[in-house]
Structures are given as structure tokens and as C-alpha cells.
Amino acid sequence: MVRRVVRGIGSVLIFLGVLTLLFVVYQLWGTGLAEARSQRQLKHEFARELRHAIPHAPGATVTATAPSTEPVAAPPPTPTGEAIAILEIPKLGVERAVVEGVGVPDLKKGPGHYPGTPAPGQPGNVGIAGHRTTYGAPFNRIDELGPNDPIYVVTRQGQFRYEVIEKKIVAPKDVSVLDATPDNRLTLTTCTPKYSAAQRLIVVARLAGPSAPAATAALTPTVTATAPAATATVGASGLGSEHAGLSGVAEARGPALVWGLACLMVLTATGLLARAWRRWPAYALGTLPFLVVLYFFFENFARLLPANI
């Protein structure tokens, strides 16, 4: 009896260990699948809007040799979670749709624009945050950027070139990097070192050329410690941690529970099949369905967690 209990406890611990390892694998690589799916949709929708906003525009993809377009009037504010621009960093091979907002759901789609800072291409200090190691890791290699390296942005107002002028590391609560500035610049923020949220890596680039007309509505001039929760601190992944929701997304509890029960059902069915048939063929048959269901469980479970790196 004692041996049976010990064997059972050991099996449970091994299973939990494997499950934890699979979750780490999902975080580092599996999250990129969801980000890629979101990016395809965002780029498609943005390209369609761009054709209407800028006649004869070359499309949503910006390249170093793409012709510039004359900036047009500021469009209406972009809803949270929708594409506000296309960001390209040629040196790093990065091309991403930038969404409005830096909350947990927003940054899972791609880099996010800080609410309260100017829209890309407009006068002032534009803030954009991105993940370093998860969800496609768009800012994984921004530490490799050097002086004068170009960063291109295309918006509904035109195409804009920024050139890197500075890199620095700051504390997570140092929000001064998002303060209003007299020059026109782009501030990229992310976590550092890699696989950690201990500090924030900041890359600053200056706009090379004229800016686009600003929106008629007044922008928040600075991002300070007393600002609204949406921009109170530069948190995980270089995003506003208060806005990101340190408690995760509560709406994911139901789906996570459903997919968790589905995992248990697949495991139970596999176990019953192994007893009634042959063990290894039954395990081989149940592995693929289990991994598929487990992926969707991880996807919803991750939404319950705090903003990650």
C-alpha cells in the first residue's frame, strides 16, 4: 500500500513537472503562433484602410527605399487593440503592426502604442512597447541597434523615418522616458535582461524629416507617476503595468476551466483505452488530441497571469 501511494505521488509529480515544462515551451515559442495569427489579420485590415487614407500608397509594408508620401490630416483616434501603424526595423528584420494600447491583450497581438503619447509620426515623444521573449518577441534584438540605424513607421498620415540616437537601461518605474520632449522622437521600451523583467531597455530614435499634423484633441503632455493607471509605470515588457492588469484578464477563467476539463477528459479517455487495448498504441493515439487541447488551455491560462516578458 505504501509503495502504491509513493508510486502514485511520484507519477503525479512527474506529470506536473512535464506540464510545467510544456507551459514554458508554450510561453517561449507557442505564444508566437497566436501573435503571428493576430499580425496577419492586423496587417490585412491596416493595408485596406491605408489604401483609402493615402491614395497611391505602396501598401502597409515600409522599406528603406519606399517613396515617401505627403503627411495628411490626423485621422480619428484608433480604438484600443486595433492597428495604428506598421513598424519596420530593417537591421533586425522586424516588421510588425503596432496596436493601440499596452495592456495584456494588446501586446499579445504585437508592439503597443502608449496611450497619452503622440501617434507615430506626429510631433513629440511617441512611445511603443513590445515583448522581448514571448508573443513573437518583436523587440528581442533591439539591444543590437546603434546610432543612426533607421526605423520606419507608416501610418494613415504617411511614412516616417526615425534614426536611433540613444540606448539606455532604466528602472521599471522610471516613467520619465515617456515624458513630452521638444524634439520629435520615437521611444521603444522592453524588458531587460532577456527572460527577466528586472529592468527596462529603452531605445530612442529621432524623426528625420517633417512630422505629421497632430490631432486636434490635446494630448497628455507627460506620463508621470500620478498619471492615470493606463500609463502609471513602465511595467513588464516595458508597458504600463497598471494598465496591463497585474491580475490578468478575469474573463479568461471560464475558457481556461473548460479547456482544463477537456484536457482531463482526453487523459481519462486515453487511460481507459490503454487498459482496454494496448498501452503504447493508445498513448500514441491520444497524444495529438491532448497537445491540441493543451495548447488552447495554455492560451487561456496565460491570460490569467500578470503581464509577462
Alpha-carbon distance values, 98 to 23, 118, 150 (Å)? 27, 14, 17
My answer on whether 100 and 159 are in the same domain is: yes
Residue 173 covered by a domain: yes
| 191 catalytic per annotation | yes
Assess contact for 40 and 136: CB atoms under 8 A: no
Q: How confident is the model at residue 302 (pLDDT cuts 50, 70, 90)?
A: confident
My answer on whether 128 and 274 are in the same domain is: no
Residue 303 covered by a domain: yes
My answer on whether 71 and 216 are in the same domain is: yes
Residue 8 covered by a domain: no
My answer on whether 184 and 298 are in the same domain is: no
Per residue in 78-112, pLDDT (tens digit) is: 999 999 999 999 999 999 999 999 988 899 999 99
Which of 199, 220, 244 is where one domain is finished? 244
My answer on whether 150 and 238 are in the same domain is: yes
Contacts of 283 (CB under 8 A, 6+ apart): 270, 274
The size of the chain, in residues, is 309
My answer on whether 170 and 124 are in the same domain is: yes
My answer on whether 204 and 256 are in the same domain is: no
Whether residue 309 has pLDDT greater than 70: no
Q: How confident is the model at residue 232 (pLDDT cuts 50, 70, 90)?
A: very low
Residue 25 covered by a domain: no
Angle, CA of 261, 265 and 269, to the nearest 5°: 170
pLDDT in the model for residue 64: 45
**Domain extent for 225:** 33-244
Active-site residue (options: 113, 132, 200, 303): 200
**pLDDT mean across residues, the chain:** 83
The CB density around residue 204, as the number of other CB atoms within 10 Å, is: 19
Active-site residue (options: 156, 185, 191, 263): 191
Average pLDDT over residues 37-55: 86
Active-site residue (options: 96, 113, 131, 156): 131
Domain count, the chain: 2
Nearest residue to 149 (alpha-carbon basis) of 111, 183, 188: 188
Burial tier of 231 (Cβ tally within 10 Å: 0-12, 13-18, 19+):
buried
Helix residue ranges, H only, the chain? 2-25, 31-53, 104-107, 241-244, 253-276, 279-302
| 109-144 CB burial, b ≥16 within 10 A, e <16 | bbbbbbbbbbbbbbbbbbbbbbbbbbbbbbbbebbe
| 131 catalytic per annotation | yes
Which 3 state secondary structure label does DSSP give 285?
Answer: helix
pLDDT in the model for residue 202: 96
My answer on whether 67 and 204 are in the same domain is: yes
Which of 244, 269, 299 is where one domain is finished? 244
My answer on whether 185 and 120 are in the same domain is: yes
Amino acid identity at 37: R
Which of 244, 260, 294 is where one domain is finished? 244
Residue 22 covered by a domain: no
Select the more confidently predicted residue: 29 or 297: 297
My answer on whether 193 and 260 are in the same domain is: no
Beta strand 125-129 pairing with 185-192? parallel
My answer on whether 223 and 262 are in the same domain is: no
Residue 1 covered by a domain: no
